[in-house]
Structure 1
């Protein structure tokens, strides 16, 4: 795992400033503390930071092809590189190293932009081809590895593994993107392909970008892969179970190649436990497992992690942190570079910090909830969908629209009385309803939060457009699959994978994700929705398959999650800090907010009238970003 960076002159052969590129690369030193180097040519500069995992003694980067035609900087792992290497050697390509980086280079020389179709793994890379006078950028299919880029007014294209890399350039444009602020207060992150900055982008998962010398403007990225949306599937439950185990075991097995200590996260939930179970059957030595718990039983899953560790006799490492572990608040804004509001970033940072003491590579269970419908919100979405189908939209829209408008937000009441969001969603179509149900702040709340001037700047833009862009592609699917697809395109990459990448790389820890092996995804997404959500049990297909491998109370207990007690923090030890940050001068002068609404949100929460903790945390993280972006 590594960090990459570069500067490419679209309309000049002048060599980029080495001082600037060095500063860009130094900002991501944490991604690769083992080595770092540079390549400079006419109009191009490439930089790399290396965390050595495979071919430790060789494979320096930037790397040149043996025919001296192309150079590469690469972040990630290619799990089928040995098979590809043999295939390419048979086609006459030469290799000077034993790692996976040179495999990508030769794949480019053989197949050009279609080289990505042959790669199985997680990756973000840049190839400079001096013969073709082009720069090729690529990102893996699911977006496990990040890649940012920005075109400056002077014709220079910047790229890097983190947004902070681009910000080191003195001509980087710091103007914020208005639509990204609206998106952030809906989702809690800025969804692909945008960033918080007006002229900077994330290369979307499953996309490539080919730039040629002399281009007057940025070409459109090209999509080379997507989750399949057409299939024929008639497997029995027994056949499904057998296939899941066989395919998951294979996805895990190819991720066990490393020349450094390797282990797994073990939360005690289904997904990480499944990965550990597969690992235990594939290696002779005990699996290194890493768990983190809280000193509050309400948030602690370590007992379940210990059950799995004992069953498979793992080399288990465990750390307990205080539920009042909020020392990282000020670090999060630096870590994520743009507003990011998932509070589980705190325990994720801690478990990566602890794991790095024992291993350099860790396997995780991320992605299973999106693939097998594990989130509670899928169940609620289907309940609402049945009502939407029972009543026509012309009747639902005025009836439930009115109820959603006048019904109070009863956070203090029993769950069955907290119906405001449900009423609002019942007045909408499938995609708009799911957007409303997952939003941190619903549209009516955002309208109250934003200032009049900022709402005018938005010019009618609504974050629902993000969901529409993806939802239009899969409107032929059933409501469950639509929700899963939307999550894979937004929440999975924008929240989950972003969280893990920044937290792990802050500690120079590589995280591999077997459930997001693209071949496994292509197969698993074909499982019928009623098989995944069966009698109210999410991930039923996966859980049935794992019954011979995991205890029932691990498989079928209530999902706990990786939560922190925000509500208590904001009424206790963080009350004054929260108020100071949210009502600060930088928030007032930003012009984005109705400050009276923020004061009301604070007051209602602190008097326990409403639980506004998610909204307040979202505001707190935005305030922290503004302090650093100014």
Structure 2
């Protein structure tokens, strides 16, 4: 009917392969953002093996070789993907089909990989803010409505931040009268990290919300770390993944199969604090008076000052010159990791920084994070945690229609006078509690990781990981490099599927 054009009609997450017996053709595809995984191993003229987990490919006889260059990037630069070669994984013999791509193999021929979806960051300056608010709200609620379609129980994950609160309260707006919405949240016995006050603010604002809580702690993480890595298969960023793991477990214990989640809003609506850097550079280049007004508002709202040193102005006005100078500087300076890594490991696998990007424009920065590095790793963490408990996560903010629209909007519709996610805050102000709408201090499911790693059991585990990397001649014999990355690298090198 549609043929390969079917991909333009689909909304949401998918990864599939269809064999056409008549044409002797295999057609494979992955959703636009990489919500679902698609791994494969290809040997020309011999075999094409694919699966949703890498361990299944190893079980089919593919050799499990760690990608040493990816390992170096991770240990040296704390990156878990290669933006310059998105198909790479932490295993040399396994590739991933990139998000927004299809792969076609005709029997006896080489695979053909095509990109079928593109983010176009061209701004539509003709749209007014009020019209944009109305369209955002309509697209967001449509996305929620579609993702509520299910023949199994649907709930939501609630962190107390703006995004998950918006999802929960939009569901409440759309659900049938008398219907109860179950929410699942991670809390912590540490006031510095616990978001309970905001979670309860959302829950108590409506009568039809039934909350469930889990209380992750360092002992549970210690006992679960190998199981989590078994499902993740590759290094993951921090213990916040464990908090999400416990949320998925909680949903299973309470018989909720589908969870709506706020993932993707930060990367499409400019939610992270570091997005102020490209925003300020964009303002500076367009209108210096406006730049000063924006910075003053930021400083007053966040009670934080930014030092605009010469590098800010150089990278804003002459990004290529700034990039070239950065490369020259790195050539003549000794990197910090040189004190810890064996020279043989560095000399063989040292590469330039895993990516260089011109961050003097907000929309282009968001595009990079959605397509190249940032969003997809978070989607991997989430999907693996969910599938470990046979749960399904659906992401309303990643409706491609909504994302397409957001990338046509001027930067001031996303960041304005110190506020991130401006259009969402104002579009949904009637359903959000005011204190949450005005939040600037979001934590999310963020455990007190540094405190946990100081406990005796964790210190021993980090010491073992350090010794393991020394035996493999990755770390020098006198290295005191003991952190989360060392732990993840040790897990990677010692796990046999």
TM-score range, shorter chain: 0.7 to 0.9
Structure 1 residue matching 2:221: 3-state secondary structure: coil
Deviations 1:360-396 (A, max 9, x none): 1111011111111000111244457778999xxxxxx
Name 2:6's counterpart in structure 1. 115
User: 2:35 touches 2:376 (CA, 8 Å); kept in 1?
Assistant: no
Question: Paired residue for 2:448?
Answer: 565
Cα distance change, pair 415–627 in 1 and its aligned pair in 2 (3 A): farther
Equivalent position of 1:190 in the other structure: 81
Secondary structure (helix, strand or coil) at the match of 1:176 reads coil
Task: Tell me if the contact between 1:182 and 1:463 (Cα under 8 Å) persists in the aligned partners.
Answer: no
Q: Please show how residues 444-523 of structure 1 align to structure 2 within 5 Å.
A: 444-458=335-349, 460-464=351-355, 467=356, 479-523=361-405
CA distance in 2, matches of 1:422, 1:457: 36
Identify unmatched segments of 5+ residues in structure 2.
288-302, 327-332
Q: 1:353 aligns with which of 249, 257, 265?
A: 249
Q: Does structure 1 residue 181 correspond to structure 2 residue 71? A: yes
Q: In 1, distance between residues paired with 2:395 and 2:436? A: 20
Rate the CA distance shift 1:415–1:458 in 2: closer, same or farther, 3 A: farther
Relative contact order, CA 8 A, sep 6+: which one is greater?
2
Change (3 A) 1:312 1:493: same
In structure 2, what is the equivalent of residue 148 of structure 1? Answer: 39
For residues 161 and 381 of structure 2, the distance between their equivalents in structure 1, rounded to whole angstroms, comes to: 18
In the aligned structure 2, how far is the partner of 1:319 from the partner of 1:430? 47
Structure of larger gyration radius: 1
CA shift at 1:518, angstroms?
0.7
Q: Alignment partner for residue 316 of structure 1, among 210, 214, 226?
A: 210
In structure 2, the partner of 1:223 is: 115
- Please give the secondary structure, in 1, of the residue aligned with 2:13: strand
Are 1:164 and 2:55 matched, yes or no? yes
Offset of 1:240 from its aligned partner? 2.0
Aligned partners of 1:131 and 1:425: how far apart in 2? 59
Q: Once the 2 structures are TM-superposed, how far is the Cα of residue 115 of structure 1 from its aligned partner?
A: 2.1
Alignment partner of 1:130 out of 11, 21, 24: 21
CA displacement at 1:199 relative to structure 2: 2.5
Deviations for 1:2-23, whole angstroms, at most 9, x for unmatched residues? xxxxxxxxxxxxxxxxxxxxxx
Match of 1:298, SS state, is coil
Does 2:101 correspond to 1:204?
no
How far apart are residue 443 of structure 1 and its match?
Answer: 9.1
**Map 1:266-345 → 2, pairs under 5 A:** 266-284=158-176, 285-324=179-218, 325-327=220-222, 328-345=224-241
Give the match's secondary structure for 1:538.
coil
Compute the displacement of 1:231 (Å). 4.0
What is the CA–CA distance in structure 1 between the aligned matches of 2:46 and 2:352, rounded to whole Å?
29
516 and 211 in structure 1: CA distance in 2 versus 1, 3 angstrom threshold: same
Deviation at 1:494, TM superposition (A): 3.4
- In 1, the alpha carbon distance for the partners of 2:136 and 2:239 equals 32
Structure 1 residues 426 and 499, CA gap change in structure 2 (3 angstroms): farther
Is 1:179–1:461's contact at 8 Å kept on the other side of the alignment? no
Alignment partner of 1:584 is 2:479: no
SS at match of 1:211: strand
Question: What is the distance in 2 between the residues matched to 1:483 and 1:546?
Answer: 25
CA 1:482–1:241 in structure 2 vs 1: closer, same or farther (change >3 Å)?
same
Q: CA deviation at 1:311?
A: 1.8
Deviations 1:181-236 (A, max 9, x none): 23323244234321011121111111000011112x4x352100011222423322
2:152 paired with 1:257: no
Q: For the residues of structure 2 that align with 1:193 and 1:595, how far apart are their CA atoms?
A: 34
Q: What SS does structure 1 have at the residue aligned with 2:2?
A: helix
How large is the Cα RMSD of the aligned pairs? 3.1
Residue of structure 2 equivalent to 1:368:
265
2:80 match: secondary structure: coil
SS of equivalent residue, structure 1 residue 549: coil
- Tell me the secondary structure at the aligned position of residue 149 of structure 1: strand
Distance in 2, matches of 1:521 and 1:271, equals 15
Structure 1: runs of 5+ lacking an equivalent: 1-109, 391-413, 437-441, 603-615
TM-score by length of 1: 0.68
- Structure-2 change in CA distance of 1:511 and 1:254 (3 Å): same
Q: Structure 2 vs 1, CA of residues 211 and 235 (structure 1 numbering), >3 Å: closer, same or farther?
A: same
Three-state SS of the structure 2 residue aligned to 1:584 is helix
Q: CA deviation at 1:552?
A: 1.5
The aligned runs of 1:354-433 (5 Å cut-off) are 354-358=250-254, 359-383=256-280
Residues 539/246 of structure 1: CA separation in 2 closer, same or farther (3 Å cut) = same
